Chain A
Amino acid sequence: MNPADSFQGPVDHRLTIRTPEGIAFSLPLAGPFSRFVAWLVDISCLALGSKLASIVTNLLGLISLDLSRAISLILFFAISIGYAIACEWYWQGQTLGKRVMGLRVMDIHGLRLRFSQVVIRNLLRTVDSLPLCYLLGGVVLLASRQGQRLGDLAGNTVVAATGRLAEPRLDRVLDETHYNSLRAHPHLAARLRQRIGPAEAELGLRALLRREDLEPEARVALFKSLASHYKRRVPFPEEDVSTISDEQYVRNVVDVLFRK
């Protein structure tokens, strides 16, 4: 287990897959709230699609009212049953709602979705939605270790959160044009790299990446705490560090750790 996992906080449902190449990777599973919102988006799309279909079939009513009503019934049925199946098959596990929420239906072994999996997980919505508003499916999902409703269990699928696919912007933190006073002591910098573990290093990096999101008081308190932690682990000469702020100190430490 990676040491950083100890900093993940509350229960974090993930799908872990070990490849034949010996690489293990894990994907975060979607929570009930994001799935519910995706479902609301899909319901809205279905309502819109049905409305458009009814406008078209109403025009057919000029030729035959019976034909228009029959086609309207069949279209509504086809849209309500086929929408999720068609979207998830064509977009490899995504409906419009899932696209908006950055979710994707995946095979539980990480393999490509088969058509039968897509069909069964959507047909079983009938039982998941009992008695109303996906109550049964929601209860099963909360009880399931991998966040699966009955349709997912039958189809061997999970819903993963794959929305964030942006490379980390380290250039916002690490800037080689800046003077780093800690690099004036190569032996201490080497000791810093040796003593600071990946999890502690990540804390500093994450704090810097998110510093703009913090309230001013919280920002000062956080960097003070981090700086004093790093100073205890590897003390640098006081005359070199006393003139820089705690935030700058953390920035220098992260620079030493992540940029050689």
Chain B
Amino acid sequence: MIIDLEKFISAERPYWQELEGMMTRQEQDPYRRMDFNEIQRLHYLYQRASADLAKVNTFSAERDMRHYLETLVGRTYGVIHGARRQAVRFSPFRWFFHTFPSTFRRQWKAFVVGVSAMMLGCLFGATALLVDPGSKPVLLPFKHLQISPAKRVAQEESAAAHHEEGGPKGTFSAFLMTHNIRVSILALALGMTWGLGTVLLLFSNGVILGAVTADFVHAGQSAFLVGWLLPHGAVEIPSILVASQAGLILAGALLGRSMALPLGRRLQAVVPDVVTLIGGVAVMLVWAGLVEAFFSQYHEPVLPYAAKIAFGLVELSLLVLFFSFGGRSGARGAERRESR
């Protein structure tokens, strides 16, 4: 049996149009809140459109009509059934100082895996350079690292003495920020290669870091090295590690050994944490970029290495405190509220 389609359409059209209007208004402003009467009306119209769709599916095969109603019901379904428990506006301060460190601690295992991969790379790079100094061009394929550390230090200190360290620092800082954030996003995205890409990226960065460190320490230029790297590296290197932590969390969900859930559910469970971590990394890298361009490039005699090292140590200590204790009081407060 086929329903009287023309009569059906003319009877139901006003309700569909009303529902379409409500949906358009709702979609134009994601934060719009409906009053009680509007919610009741939306629910009624949704149920009516659903019933119409059921009728069309059962009694008629008019494809355009079915498609029209399916699209309408589909749009409304997302709003009716996807309602959050409470509409919360995003608070950047609370997110950075509470959610970000809490997420980091909750996912600490992935961070340890990332640190291990980078440490292995460091060990490999340092050993390779010390055992086979001829491998330096392969381990450190950058022009500014090819010269001997002593010569490099002399160049940098001479430039500082003649106040030649100036230059486009703003551009350099912006370049560092955007470049490092891109690398962090890559470290995260490579998590979709079951984590292999992320681990390789960390290992290769570790090789470079280990080789540079071994080169300067072996040449007796430890103070310059620490003073040069620590002010920005204290934030930059942990940032890359946290981005890789996010990638490894994705990889963990893909492999899914610890969770008896289908792939979609596993990914759904970790994605908010992954996004929180990469967002926090972006903020950290803005700071690291500013420090590297405006502070790290100044050397003795302009800035004593002791001051630079002290600055880096303070940063590192604050970062450790931030990740260890950030958001703990908020979490305890939330637990107390829940227990009441």
Please provide the 7 A-B residue pairs with the shortest distance between their CB atoms, ordered closest to farther.
A112-B82, A111-B82, A198-B61, A4-B61, A70-B170, A127-B189, A202-B61
Name A125's closest neighbour in chain B (CB-CB). B189
Contact of A120 among B5, B168, B175, B275 (CB under 8 A): B275
Contact of B2 among A24, A92, A111, A201 (CB under 8 A): A201
Q: Is the CB of B71 within 8 A of A27?
A: yes
Contact of A3 among B61, B81, B171, B192 (CB under 8 A): B61
Inter-chain contacts of B47 with A (CB < 8 A): 21
Q: Is the CB of A89 within 8 A of B64?
A: no
* B273–chain A nearest beta-carbon distance, Å: 9
Residue from the set A25, A92, A156 with the largest chain B CB neighbour count within 10 Å? A25
Bound complex: CA of A71 vs CA of B177, how far in Å?
12
Inter-chain contacts of A193 with B (CB < 8 A): 1-2
Query: Which of the 9-residue segments A167-175, A179-187, A230-238, A242-250 touches chain B?
Result: A167-175
144-193 of chain A: CB within 8 A of chain B: 150, 153-156, 160, 162, 164-168, 170-171, 174, 193
Q: Is the CB of B68 within 8 A of A154?
A: no
Name A174's closest neighbour in chain B (CB-CB). B6
Q: How many residues of B contact A (CB 8 A)?
A: 72
Name A165's closest neighbour in chain B (CB-CB). B71
- Known contacts: A66-B170, A117-B271. The answer to whether A123 contacts B188 by CB under 8 A is yes
Q: Is the CB of B7 within 8 A of A260?
A: yes
Kindly list 15 other residue pairs between chains A and B, CB separation below 8 angstroms, not including A67-B170, A198-B60, A202-B60. A71-B174, A77-B182, A91-B27, A119-B279, A120-B271, A123-B185, A126-B182, A160-B74, A164-B68, A168-B65, A168-B68, A170-B9, A196-B2, A259-B5, A260-B7
Instruction: Tell yes or no: B202 within 8 A of A by CB.
Output: no
Instruction: Tell yes or no: A132 within 8 A of B by CB.
Output: no
Contact of B274 among A21, A120, A156, A165 (CB under 8 A): A120
B contacts, CB < 8 Å to A: 1-2, 4-7, 9, 13, 16, 20, 27, 30, 47, 50-51, 53-54, 57, 59-75, 77-79, 81-83, 90, 168-171, 173-175, 177-178, 181-182, 185-186, 188-190, 192-193, 197, 250, 263-264, 267-268, 271-272, 274-275, 278-279
Contact of B168 among A4, A65, A126 (CB under 8 A): A65
Give 18 A-B contacts (CB < 8 Å), ordered by A residue: A17-B74, A25-B53, A66-B169, A77-B178, A90-B30, A110-B78, A112-B82, A117-B271, A127-B189, A127-B192, A164-B71, A166-B68, A171-B6, A174-B5, A174-B6, A193-B1, A198-B2, A202-B62
* A140–chain B nearest beta-carbon distance, Å: 9
Q: Is the CB of A27 within 8 A of B74?
A: yes
Inter-chain contacts of B71 with A (CB < 8 A): 27, 162, 164-165
- Known contacts: A27-B74, A123-B189, A202-B62. The answer to whether A73 contacts B5 by CB under 8 A is no
Q: Is the CB of B61 within 8 A of A77?
A: no
Q: Is the CB of A107 within 8 A of B275?
A: no
Instruction: Tell yes or no: A206 within 8 A of B by CB.
Output: yes
Residue from the set A64, A91, A198, A209 with the largest chain B CB neighbour count within 10 Å? A198
Contact of B63 among A4, A89, A110, A154 (CB under 8 A): A4
Bound complex: CA of A92 vs CA of B23, how far in Å?
11
Q: Is the CB of A150 within 8 A of B192?
A: yes
Q: Is the CB of A107 within 8 A of B61?
A: no
Instruction: Tell yes or no: A106 within 8 A of B by CB.
Output: yes
Bound complex: CA of A89 vs CA of B2, how far in Å?
41
Q: Is the CB of A23 within 8 A of B264?
A: no
Inter-chain contacts of B53 with A (CB < 8 A): 23, 25
- Known contacts: A65-B168, A107-B82. The answer to whether A258 contacts B6 by CB under 8 A is yes
Bound complex: CA of A145 vs CA of B5, how far in Å?
34
Bound complex: CA of A229 vs CA of B93, how far in Å?
71
Inter-chain contacts of B169 with A (CB < 8 A): 66
* B185–chain A nearest beta-carbon distance, Å: 5
Q: Is the CB of B190 within 8 A of A66?
A: no
* B26–chain A nearest beta-carbon distance, Å: 9
* A126–chain B nearest beta-carbon distance, Å: 4
Q: Is the CB of B78 within 8 A of A127?
A: no
- Known contacts: A17-B74, A164-B67. The answer to whether A74 contacts B174 by CB under 8 A is yes
Residue from the set A17, A167, A170 with the largest chain B CB neighbour count within 10 Å? A167
* A83–chain B nearest beta-carbon distance, Å: 15
Inter-chain contacts of B174 with A (CB < 8 A): 69-71, 73-74
Instruction: Tell yes or no: A56 within 8 A of B by CB.
Output: no
Name B29's closest neighbour in chain A (CB-CB). A90
Bound complex: CA of A135 vs CA of B61, how far in Å?
39
Bound complex: CA of A119 vs CA of B275, how far in Å?
7
